[in-house]
Structure 1
Amino acid sequence: MSSRTPDECVDLALDEGADEEKRADAIHELKTANECDELAALVRENGIDERYRRQALEALATPQCDSTLRELVEEEPLEGSLGEEAEELLATVEDD
């Protein structure tokens, strides 16, 4: 784990000028730290490439973040393929 704060990880993940690997690492750091709210904010962020939104969504598929994932499915549904993937991930987490 790096010495980045959750806010710094979010900023890096949103930084279009940053290296792809560093952006993905920032999302992974959020997952490792169980920063569910920050990951959900990235998933909801329409201003970034869908692959990063998808990575953040997949990072929420943990027992620690299942309630946040449930919110994305039930309370604030995502549109299109991200919404479908969120439903599938939630079903997978709930089955475990």
Structure 2
Amino acid sequence: MDDHIQISSCGRTLWVHGTDGSTVGRFSTIFGMDVHTTFQQQMDGANQCLHCTHQQPTRADWIEFCRLMSVHHQISVDDQLMYPETETLGETDAEPVLFTP
């Protein structure tokens, strides 16, 4: 697994850390996602949130989180890390699917 990625022991939350060590992303199968600017960008005046939700996410939200990590931070997040049992990618109207270890 990439050094930028950390997964909770229960497998329900994933954090992404930027090259400067700041946490730039969090995805929770219960609480949604946070995509943030880096610490340095915030110190330079940027807003913290790039894309934040506060509701139970869908598979489509997870795919979007992975895309946003690549777009904003050039960090590749494997889209199978949080939903390994799901084979169909890129669904836009998917029902919520929780990973239960």
Please report the TM-score for the alignment, with normalisation by the length of structure 1: 0.31
Q: Which one scores higher on RCO, CA 8 angstroms, separation ≥ 6?
A: 2
Larger strand proportion of the pair: 2
The structure number with the bigger radius of gyration is: 2
Larger helix proportion of the pair: 1
